[in-house]
Each structure stands twice: as C-alpha cells, then as structure tokens.
A and B are shown apart, each in its own frame.
Chain A
Amino acid sequence: MKVHEFMTKKIEFIDSNKSVYDAVEQMVDRRIRSVVVRFAGKETDYGVLTSRDIVFRVLAKGINPKKIKVAEIASKPIACIDKEMDFEDAATTMERSNIARLFVCDEGKIVGLISLLDVMAAELVLRARGNHVS
C-alpha cells in the first residue's frame, strides 16, 4: 500500500518570521499538532514546528512565546519520503529516525503528511486484505 493513498493533504504552513505565539494560536485553532515552517525566498526549504517543541523549548522554560520567532525553534530539515513509498518502508524510516510524522514530497514540494496513526490504520487494512491482490 502506497503512502499517497492514505496521506493527509491538509497541511498548515506558517512563515518563519512569525512568533511562536502565532503558531500556538494557529495550532490550537485548527486542532493540529504541528505546522510546516516556510522560509522566505526558498520555495522548497521547509522546517517543522511541533507542539512538543513549543511546550518543551518555550513554555516550560518560561519564555514569552511572543518574543521568540518560529525560525528559532523549528526543526530543519524535515523528513521527506516519496509518495510511491510503501507504508512498511515508511514505518521503518519513522522508527530509524525516531519521528512521529513524515512529509510526503514530490520534486521537493510537500504534498502530504503521514503520521503514526496513518501507519497503524494502513497496517489494519493490510491485515484485513491478507494475501489478496487487487
């Protein structure tokens, strides 16, 4: 089963010069756990900011989220996989890199996202399908 069949295409972006507070607002409002960070002038240059980054690196340390830019705490580079990759290989990549989400890219541009939950759902579908080939 290929990742493009099951990936999420609803991806939220934020500009790197925005404040962490803006990111928090966006994430809480849209009920998402991460946003993709866009850097000015570079179309295929991305970073990622997760709720974990925000809580551990900013809020827990008592730093004012309005006074820190997204670019300062975003992780770079992002982990990208090809849309034709199988879910089994995607799971291996996640395990090796110890990450909870992988971005699906096409010629450097993000076209989707798969999370641990998507991998688990794909596993259930594969089990149900058994040896059947469609």
Chain B
Amino acid sequence: MFLDKILSHGKKERYVIEDIKRHIELLCTACDTFITSLEKQDRNLMWEVVELEREADSVRREVISHIYEGAFLPYLRPDLCKFVEIVDEVFDLLKETAFYCVENDIPEPLRDESIRVALLNFRMCDMLLISFDAMLKGEDLREKTLAVRIFEKKIDDIKLNLVKEVAQVPIENFWAGKALSDFLTNLTMISDIIEDASDHLQIINVSTR
C-alpha cells in the first residue's frame, strides 16, 4: 500500500501529499472557472484563472522544497517532483488560454466546441484527482488511466472539427490569426499534458508496489 510504504516516516510526507492534492484541486477549480467564464463571457472571472495559476505556483514550490528537505525515500523524489511539474504545465497552458479570452472574443463558430473541450479538460482533471486518491488508498489505477485516455481521444476528435472550422473564420491580420491559432493549440494540448500526468501517476503507483 502506498500510504503504508511512505507515510510511516513522518509528517513531511503527509504535508507533501496534502499539497499535491491541493495542487490538483486548484487545477480542477481553475478549469471549472474557465468553463464558467467562457459560458458567461465574463472577462473578470477569467482573471480568476490567472490568480489560481499563481496560487498553484506557490503550492508547487512548497511541494518541491518539502521533498528536497527529505520527504520520501530518495528514489521516489524525482518522480513526485516530475508529477507536480507536469500538473504545473497544465496550469501554464490554462493561463495562456485565459489570457487570450481576456483580450478576445472566441469566434462564434468555434465557441461551442471550445466550451466542450474545456468541459472535457475539467473532467480529465477531476479524474486525475480521483486517480491520486485511489493511489493513496493503494487501488489499481488501470480504470482511471483508461478513462483519461478516453477523454483525450474525444478531445482529439473535437480538435479535428475545430481545425476544419477555424479555416472558415475571417482573420483581421497575422497577429490576430496567430493568437487564435495559439489559443486553440493550447486549449487542445491541455488534455495531452493531463494524460502525461495520469501516466506518470501510474508509474509512481507501480514503483511503490
């Protein structure tokens, strides 16, 4: 069992576990806030996503410093740090997409599908949190990682539609086109990174058995 193997050593491990969990919970909140602000076209609320990313950044720093202060057996430390950094990459992408939405309206033909991608991204984060809890209980993560892959595949399908649609959207100038292209790339790449995080969690789970 994951807990038996690593938590018996002391409080530092418990702090790290709590912080990693908080980090993923913040990601779920950020994704949820992103959906709400997209749906309501509320640019002020979009700033909340940026604020949440900053908060998550400080949680990440705490996790990493606790780990290198001696939490966990040395062989586990790089994997745990890597996991937190992968989750942090998701925050970075989410922040970039939020910045685009603060400055621009999503073109109408792309709005519905963008919201669907955002919703599926949220579902994936939620599944990542479920996976993390399951790992702490010593459960098998096979079903959870499969669910994450299913969501990712679905987003890939939607991405194809978005690419087709975006070609029909009138673009004012090069920079407007680049910003829109970057927005779609970041929005649809979030799922790839969450999938990486989920796979990494599976690696940690296997390595503690």
Contact of A124 with B143 in the complex, beta carbons under 8 Å: yes
Chain-B contact segment, one of A1-9, A18-26, A67-75: A1-9
Interface size on B, residues (CB 8 A): 21
Contact with B along A68-101 (1 / 0, CB 8 A): 0000000000000000000000000000000000
Contact of A121 with B130 in the complex, beta carbons under 8 Å: no
Residue from B120, B147, B160 in contact with A129 in the complex, judged by beta carbons closer than 8 Å: B147
B206 is an interface residue with CB less than 8 A from chain A: no
B119 is an interface residue with CB less than 8 A from chain A: yes
**What number of A-B contacts does a CB cutoff of 8 Å give?**
43
* CB within 8 Å of B: which A1-44 residues: 5-6, 8-10
Task: Report whether over half of chain B's contact residues are helix, strand or loop; otherwise say mixed.
Answer: helix
Contact of B119 with A129 in the complex, beta carbons under 8 Å: no
Contact of A5 with B143 in the complex, beta carbons under 8 Å: no
User: What is the bound-complex CA distance between A5 and B113, given in angstroms?
Assistant: 11
Q: Which residue of A lies closest to B126 (CB)?
A: A134
Contact of A128 with B161 in the complex, beta carbons under 8 Å: no
* CB within 8 Å of A: which B122-147 residues: 122-123, 126-127, 130, 143-144, 146-147
B83 is an interface residue with CB less than 8 A from chain A: no
Contact of A128 with B157 in the complex, beta carbons under 8 Å: no
A130 is an interface residue with CB less than 8 A from chain B: yes
Known interface pairs A125-B150, A128-B144; A134-B157 also in contact (CB < 8 Å): no
The chain B residues found within 8 Å of chain A, CB to CB, are 28, 113, 116, 119-120, 122-123, 126-127, 130, 143-144, 146-147, 150-151, 154, 157-158, 160-161
The chain A residues found within 8 Å of chain B, CB to CB, are 5-6, 8-10, 121, 124-125, 127-130, 132, 134
Extra A-B contacts (4), CB below 8 Å, given A5-B120, A128-B143, A128-B144: A9-B161, A132-B126, A132-B130, A134-B28
A-B contact pairs, 7 of them (CB 8 A): A10-B157, A10-B161, A121-B150, A124-B143, A125-B123, A127-B143, A129-B130
